[in-house]
Chains A and B, each alone.
Chain A
Amino acid sequence: MEILKDIGKSLMAGDDKKITEEVAQAIEEGIPTTKILDDGLIAGMNVVGVRFRDHDMFLPEVLLSARAMTAGVALLKPLMIAEEIPSRGKVVLGSVQGDLHDIGKNLVGIMLEGAGFEVVDLGIDVPPEKFIDAAIAEDASVIGLSSLLTTTMDIMKGVVNLVGERGLSDKVQVIVGGAPLSEEFAQSIGAHGYAYDAANAVEKVIALLAKD
């Protein structure tokens, strides 16, 4: 279907106006909602993610694509609700207690939504208990923790420990990211994953959920 290829191309170009027209056209043509989503929008975003990883696309271009994705999904949302189409999974996200930085966390949220995940963004300065409570209330499979400050890294360990203490180890996985962090740090606190950037976070969440 040519229109789905066009959607993918417009998405890579970050053209939200064109995406809106093309998704509306695809709906008009009677293409199933899941096909528009999977073969048009998500397929396009997957290519964006790969090109970003390979340094063939850069942050401003990726974010324009993400905005275009949001515009396209907005048209599909009522149909997805009506047709009860499930998301790929739910991720609770936040900058940990003591940290007011949110750029990295916001980028991860945008990229996850672009990949078809539902994101519950708890914002900044989030205490450990709030992550756990939200994961339970939202029935989320993944908690994503962001921190830009070395002084708040200990809070991440607190969240990982609480997952165990609240008996959620079999249901909820924790992924961490932020400039001062590393794979070694993630392992040392018992987190299930570490992401070095927003695109990598999507890959890691997909990999974590595939293991389930």
Chain B
Amino acid sequence: MKGIIPLDSIRVAPHRDVALRRQGVPDDHQVSDLVEGIVEKAASLYESLAQPKGIIAEISLSDFEEVFEGEGRNDLPTPLQGIVRKADGLALFAATVGDPVSAKIPDLFKENDPATACMLDGIASDRTETAATLVADAFLDSLLEKGEVDSKVRVLPYSPGYCGWHITGQEKLFAFLDPEQIGISLNASCLMSPIKSVSGVLVAGQPEIHDFENDFDFCFDCATWECRPRIASLFQLSPTKK
């Protein structure tokens, strides 16, 4: 599988409850008309500005290991090294909601409208994460259609900058995938522009291959432990910090 994936379904903003939840507002909290107005304004801005697109390219294990090595700055060992060796399929990917949305957020701050800026940021982050999920779904569908995997297989994304994969790994990932085709570029610090973009490797495999103990060296400096709910979601267990 290789090519650009249109992500038209995420041109629509998420439901207001999702937007409010991303701002830390609990479902049972009564918000004012002013806040409702902010949600509507941010959703409307998102829908008028969003240009979501994804790109994917299947990759062999040996080619991926070359990409993963990056500039030789990974914090080894990493869980991904073992996970990819047990995978049924690998693909590099990138996705974005486009530059106009990302550019509008700082503009809103400058216009002294921080509430709308943050709401739009949350909506754009939600849609960017959904973009990654949609590209992963497309990858899984293609593997299922080809009969290369069974229905128990799950796909998870792993990105440079996390879990020991150094951010400079973006250089080789971009060289292989060419996300410039969908308007994503890298700066000198290997960060993506537009900022509301995501990239990495999609790993298809049985749920068990994604499971790992969070006792790597870098885990002790990690304050988020986002890997735990990700892994738990594959088994529908309650996430716990080790």
Assess whether B6 is interfacial by the CB under 8 Å rule: no
Assess whether B77 is interfacial by the CB under 8 Å rule: no
30 A-B Cβ contacts within 8 A? A14-B32, A14-B35, A58-B23, A58-B25, A59-B24, A59-B118, A60-B35, A60-B119, A61-B35, A63-B115, A64-B34, A67-B112, A67-B114, A99-B189, A99-B191, A100-B195, A101-B195, A103-B105, A103-B117, A103-B118, A107-B114, A149-B161, A151-B161, A151-B167, A153-B221, A179-B223, A180-B222, A180-B223, A180-B224, A185-B221
Q: In the complex the two chains form, what is the Cα distance from A147 to B99 in whole Å?
A: 22
Assess whether B235 is interfacial by the CB under 8 Å rule: no
The residue on A at minimum CB distance from B121 is A103
Q: In the complex the two chains form, what is the Cα distance from A64 to B116 in whole Å?
A: 9
User: Within the complex, what minimum Cβ distance (angstroms) separates A41 from chain B?
Assistant: 15
In the complex the two chains form, is A100's CB within 8 Å of B191's CB? yes
Assess whether B31 is interfacial by the CB under 8 Å rule: yes
Q: Contact flags (1/0) for A1-40 with B, using CB distance below 8 Å?
A: 0000000000001110000000000000000000000000
Count of A interface residues, CB-CB < 8 Å:
34
User: Within the complex, what minimum Cβ distance (angstroms) separates B219 from chain A?
Assistant: 11
Assess whether B212 is interfacial by the CB under 8 Å rule: no
In the complex the two chains form, is B34's CB within 8 Å of A15's CB? yes
B residues with CB within 8 A of A = 20, 23-26, 29, 31-32, 34-35, 38-39, 105-106, 109, 112-115, 117-119, 121, 161-162, 166-167, 187, 189, 191, 193, 195, 218, 221-224
Assess whether A70 is interfacial by the CB under 8 Å rule: yes
Assess whether A161 is interfacial by the CB under 8 Å rule: no
In the complex the two chains form, is B32's CB within 8 Å of A61's CB? yes
Assess whether A203 is interfacial by the CB under 8 Å rule: no
Which residues of the partner chain B approach A118 to less than 8 Å between Cβ atoms? none
Assess whether A187 is interfacial by the CB under 8 Å rule: no
In the complex the two chains form, is B191's CB within 8 Å of A98's CB? yes
A residues with CB within 8 A of B = 13-15, 58-61, 63-64, 66-67, 70-71, 97-103, 106-107, 110, 125, 149-153, 179-182, 185
In the complex the two chains form, is B221's CB within 8 Å of A64's CB? no
Which residues of the partner chain A approach B161 to less than 8 Å between Cβ atoms? 149-151
A-B contact count (CB 8 A): 92
Q: Contacts A63-B114, A180-B222 given: A58-B38 contact, CB under 8 Å?
A: no
Q: In the complex the two chains form, what is the Cα distance from A170 to B20 in whole Å?
A: 43
Main SS at interface, chain A: helix
Which residues of the partner chain A approach B109 to less than 8 Å between Cβ atoms? 102, 106
Q: Contacts A14-B32, A58-B25, A179-B223 given: A70-B112 contact, CB under 8 Å?
A: yes
Q: In the complex the two chains form, what is the Cα distance from A142 to B121 in whole Å?
A: 28
Which residues of the partner chain B approach A181 to less than 8 Å between Cβ atoms? 223
User: Within the complex, what minimum Cβ distance (angstroms) separates A51 from chain B?
Assistant: 12
Which residues of the partner chain A approach B29 to less than 8 Å between Cβ atoms? 58
The residue on B at minimum CB distance from A149 is B161
In the complex the two chains form, is A60's CB within 8 Å of B31's CB? yes
User: Within the complex, what minimum Cβ distance (angstroms) separates A109 from chain B?
Assistant: 9
In the complex the two chains form, is A59's CB within 8 Å of B25's CB? yes
Q: Contacts A125-B189, A149-B167 given: A107-B118 contact, CB under 8 Å?
A: yes
In the complex the two chains form, is A102's CB within 8 Å of B34's CB? no
B223 partner, pick from A15, A70, A71, A182, beta carbons under 8 A = A182
In the complex the two chains form, is A110's CB within 8 Å of B189's CB? no
Top 6 closest A-B pairs, CB basis?
Answer: A63-B115, A98-B189, A58-B25, A63-B114, A59-B23, A151-B167
In the complex the two chains form, is A67's CB within 8 Å of B113's CB? yes
Which residues of the partner chain B approach A100 to less than 8 Å between Cβ atoms? 187, 189, 191, 193, 195
Q: Contacts A59-B25, A60-B23, A60-B38 given: A179-B224 contact, CB under 8 Å?
A: yes
Which residues of the partner chain B approach A97 to less than 8 Å between Cβ atoms? 189
